[in-house]
């Protein structure tokens, strides 16, 4: 199975401050890869570097064999999408206006989230957090990316909304999209993941298939996903 997004020996951080070290990771077409870890482990730094928002300090990141250090806007044109807990939508515009601004179609977004149909004429600022995240994810997936990077979609949302978002990501993967899901909630992530990477203090501490690591969830939770990292 092809891996349109791959990192090898990735070193990442901010200026002279190194946060992530020696990370090997790949996002394969048609799979959900989950990147798990506590706050401060380096997950967001990793995903921003994979997206091209941050330049790597070392190692390599390759997207669709384009190589080099492509910035986010060029990777986006080549088929990479990034959705974060910040819900990057235009809050002063309506849902319909956002759809036009993102150069996609209402039908494509509503096919993913029909719940938004009743809100097409509403300003996004008036939507709930869950509806805003549905819109952000719907806009990204409606453009048929090769890879989508989803960073902490569950932040501050009700469990039923999280389940809905995750189900749409799983369906996208089943249709051929490569998904990297960055999450703190190990049990929910495991329900849709094919492969799992567990990050601790800027390094990949453990990796394997979801089936393999699913048998070790309690051990992983106790060893890597609790407490405040230094």
The reply to whether 150 and 219 lie within a common domain is yes
The reply to whether 28 and 126 lie within a common domain is no
The 10s digit of each residue's pLDDT in 182-227 is 987 788 899 999 999 999 999 999 999 999 998 888 888 877 776 4
Helix (H, G, I), strand (E, B), or coil: what is residue 59? Answer: strand
Neighbours of 38 (CB within 10 A): 17
The reply to whether 91 and 205 lie within a common domain is no
Query: Which strand ranges, in their side-by-side order, compose the sheet holding 195-200?
Result: 80-84, 147-151, 178-183, 32-36, 195-200, 203-209
Q: Please give the Cα distance from 85 to 26 (Å, whole number).
A: 22
Count Cβ neighbours within 10 Å for each residue of 191-212 and write b for 16 or more, e otherwise. Answer: ebbbbbbbbbbbebbbbeebee
Helix (H, G, I), strand (E, B), or coil: what is residue 138? Answer: helix
The 10s digit of each residue's pLDDT in 141-152 is 999 999 999 999
- Structural domain contains residue 136: yes
pTM of the shown model = 0.92
Domain boundary among 106, 121, 144: 144
Least confident of 12-26, 47-61, 77-91: 77-91
The reply to whether 199 and 134 lie within a common domain is no
Quote the number of domains for the chain. 2
Residue ranges making up the domain that contains 181: 5-79+145-224
- Structural domain contains residue 183: yes
Q: Which is nearest to 173 in space by CA: 5, 31, 33, 35?
A: 31
Helix (H, G, I), strand (E, B), or coil: what is residue 200? Answer: strand
The reply to whether 103 and 202 lie within a common domain is no
- Structural domain contains residue 230: no
Q: Cα separations (Å) of 223 from 136, 196, 205?
A: 33, 15, 10
Q: Note the pLDDT of residue 229.
A: 37
pLDDT over threshold 90, residue 22: yes
Mean confidence (pLDDT) of the chain: 92
- Structural domain contains residue 229: no
pLDDT over threshold 60, residue 228: no
Q: Cα separations (Å) of 187 from 61, 149, 183, 191?
A: 28, 19, 10, 7
pLDDT over threshold 90, residue 91: yes
The reply to whether 149 and 201 lie within a common domain is yes
């Amino acid at each position: 199975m092809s891996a349109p997004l791959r990192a090898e020996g990735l070193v990442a951080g901010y200026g002279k401050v190194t946060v992530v070290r020696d990370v090997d990771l790949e996002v394969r077409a048609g799979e959900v890869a989950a990147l798990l870890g506590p706050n401060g482990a380096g997950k967001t730094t990793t995903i921003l570097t994979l997206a091209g928002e941050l330049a790597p300090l070392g190692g390599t990141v390759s997207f669709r064999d384009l190589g080099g250090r492509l910035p986010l806007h060029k990777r986006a044109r080549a088929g990479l999408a990034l959705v974060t807990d910040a819900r990057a939508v235009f809050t002063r515009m309506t849902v319909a206006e956002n759809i036009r601004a993102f150069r996609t179609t209402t039908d494509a977004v509503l096919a993913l989230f029909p719940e938004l149909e009743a809100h097409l004429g509403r300003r996004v600022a008036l939507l709930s957090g869950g509806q805003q995240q549905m819109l952000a994810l719907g806009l990204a997936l409606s453009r048929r990316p090769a890879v989508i990077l989803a960073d902490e979609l569950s932040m501050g949302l009700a469990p039923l909304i999280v389940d809905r978002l995750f189900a749409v990501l799983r369906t996208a993967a089943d249709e051929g999209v490569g998904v990297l899901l960055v999450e703190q909630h190990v049990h929910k992530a495991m329900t849709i993941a094919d492969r799992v990477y567990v990050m601790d203090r800027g390094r990949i501490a453990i990796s394997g298939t979801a089936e393999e690591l699913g048998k070790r969830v309690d051990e992983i939770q106790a060893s890597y996903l609790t407490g405040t990292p230094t």
